[in-house]
Amino acid sequence: MASNFLEAAKKQFEYYKLLGEKTFDQLNDEQLFFMYNEDSNSIGIIVKHLHGNMLSRWTDFLTSDGEKEWRNRDGEFENDIKTKEQLLEVWNAGWNRLFTTLNSLTEEDLHKTIYIRNQGCSVTDAILRQLAHYPYHVGQIVFIGKMLANNNWRSLSIPKNASKEYNSEKFAKPKHNAHFTDEYLKKKD
């Protein structure tokens, strides 16, 4: 079961990374840095925050506190990324750190205790914590992207009024075991 957990976690993270990227693809530079007001976050700021969190949480994951002394969390909310290219570099650096760490974990590691702000938790709990945190922010990215793209938005899931066709296609296939993200991640390649 433990190895299934790690594989399922990786697929979930890959899926949410893909949702972010499919949103970025639909937006121009100006839209990526649009802020509704000074108290809101642009997509660029959200990406910068995810990057900071990922580097802090996943660097030396098993051996040092997940909230690193060098992290400047408040600085993550300053809108200083200027281009889509920079945004993608920051985005990929965070995700690369996460996947490098996840790929290094073993089943035995899942039972270890790690610390985040001096609070101990199991490796499994730490992974689940991030599986709640990152999709929360990717959801914000998608929501902002959908509003900004307006009528040009291309759905990232089942398009509106297409559930019947989608379900018909699914139920036309025999029962089988698969992770729900498999079909989305195959389309990426």
Per-residue pLDDT of the chain (189 residues; tens, 9 = 90+): 556 999 999 999 999 999 999 999 999 999 999 999 999 999 999 999 999 999 999 999 999 999 999 999 999 999 899 999 999 999 999 999 999 999 999 999 999 999 999 999 999 999 999 999 999 999 999 999 999 999 999 999 888 899 999 889 889 989 888 878 877 777 665
Among all chains, which residue has been given the structure tokens 């959801």? 139
Query: Model pTM?
Result: 0.92
- Residue 54 contacts residue 76 (beta carbons within 8 Å): no
The rounded distance, in Å, linking the Cα atoms of 94 and 156 is 22
Which residue, among 155, 185, 144, 142, has the nearest Cα to 18 in the 3D structure?
Answer: 185
138 CB burial (10 A radius; 0-12, 13-18, 19+)? buried
The highest-level CATH class for domain 2-188 is mainly alpha
DSSP 113: E
The one-letter amino acid code at 127 reads I
Would you state the torsion angle of the CA atoms of residues 32, 41, 88, 62, taken in this order, to the nearest 10 degrees?
A: -170
The rounded distance, in Å, linking the Cα atoms of 187 and 189 is 6
Among all chains, which residue has been given the structure tokens 């969390």? 73
- Provide the terminal-to-terminal Cα distance of the chain, rounded to the nearest Å: 28
Residue 149, token pair as written in the block = 């793209």
Which residues are CB-contacts of 80 (< 8 A; sequence separation ≥ 6)?
48
Which residue, among 31, 8, 36, 10, has the nearest Cα to 95 in the 3D structure?
Answer: 10
Q: Where are the domains of the chain?
A: 2-188
